[in-house]
Amino acid sequence: MKRYILFVIIILCLLPVLTSATYLEEGDQPLLTILNHVGAEFIEGDFSANGIIADKFLSEEELDNLGKELIDYFEMMGKEGTKYTEISANHYVKEKILEETYRQVSYFGFDKDSNPLTIILSSYLNVENQKSQSYLYINLVNKKQDSQINDIILKVKSLFDKYERNVEITTCIIGSIDGKLSGEYVKNTLPKIVHNLNGQIVDFYEDKELISYTAYTDGIEDYILAGDDRINLNIALRYNEYDSKTLIWIGTPIITSGY
């Protein structure tokens, strides 16, 4: 888990985010527009944010104190438990890793709206040049379509503003459609939806199980660079034979969850 989170943080922090204002105002509306247009049923939304909060190697005490503040700030519910089976509205779990050049404190629980919430504080010491950095990673999975993901976006943005730091934010909506959509239907429909959002397709991928579009739309002002291309919209579809449903992932600027 530690190495996976570190990989995600490093990759996302290296991607240049060029603007952010409109994204915070419009939130996930373009994503919901696509979901509704294809007639998909909302399953869940996945929100992640990460960024540097300090250019120093935080002590165990500093990590613990900051963790307590973040639990209150993001309204993680319950008291600290010791077993993952205890995670509920009444208990959250705290996990700690302490090494010579690496320290991490993680919290797994639920917020006040019963959404799964993860908070991870990681601190690194570069022995060669004595330069250190500390990161904050937040993940929230909202189970209801009417959940105001804008609230958490603004809350995270305000927190990183306090540290005078930039934050990388990704949002993904997952939905399902009864039956199997034909490749022809998908190829005819999705480009039209992107075009209606003042967008253009940047990349397309297809295999026997998956169809994926990467695009740029000025309906979402936030974007990242992939080579010389701007991208801020990622759509993927896969048929699930077990449930006889087509699953759709719609993410901005990219889909970071597995599909």
What is the CATH classification number for the domain harbouring 74? 3.30.2030
Q: Which domain holds residue 120?
A: 2-15+48-165
Predicted local confidence at residue 208, as pLDDT: 84
Task: Output phi, psi for 143, to 5 deg.
Answer: -95, -5
The whole model's pTM is what? 0.81
3-state secondary structure of 21: helix
In a domain, 130, yes or no: yes
Residue type, 132: S
Cα–Cα distance for residue pair 189/195, rounded to 1 Å: 10
> 107: which 2 tokens?
């919290």
In a domain, 104, yes or no: yes
In a domain, 156, yes or no: yes
Burial label, 118 (beta-carbon count in 10 A; 0-12, 13-18, 19+) = middle
Spatial CB neighbours of 62, under 8 Å, sequence gap ≥ 6:
none
In a domain, 171, yes or no: no
In a domain, 122, yes or no: yes
* Averaged pLDDT, groups of 10, the chain, 259 residues long: 40 38 46 89 92 94 96 93 81 94 95 92 87 94 74 88 91 93 87 90 91 91 87 94 93 85
Predicted local confidence at residue 184, as pLDDT: 86
Our count of domains for the chain comes to 1
Answer whether 172's CB lies under 8 Å from 249's CB.
yes
In a domain, 188, yes or no: no
Residue 171: half-sphere exposure toward Cβ, Cα within 13 Å: 25
Answer whether 256's CB lies under 8 Å from 239's CB.
no
pLDDT digits (tens, 9 = 90+) for 32-69: 889 988 889 999 999 999 999 999 999 999 999 999 99
Listed residue (237, 166, 246, 249) closest to 206, CA to CA: 237
In a domain, 92, yes or no: yes
In a domain, 23, yes or no: no
Whose tokens are 């934010």? That residue is 169
CA–chain centroid gap for 11, Å, is: 13
Spatial CB neighbours of 256, under 8 Å, sequence gap ≥ 6:
8, 12, 46, 48, 170, 172
Q: Would you tell me the crossing angle of helices 29-37 and 183-196 to the nearest 10 degrees?
A: 140
Answer whether 52's CB lies under 8 Å from 134's CB.
yes
Cα–Cα distance for residue pair 67/74, rounded to 1 Å: 11
Answer whether 51's CB lies under 8 Å from 166's CB.
yes
Burial label, 145 (beta-carbon count in 10 A; 0-12, 13-18, 19+) = middle
Predicted local confidence at residue 101, as pLDDT: 93
Write the Ramachandran bin of 197: left for phi over 0, alpha for psi from -120 to 50, otherwise beta.
alpha
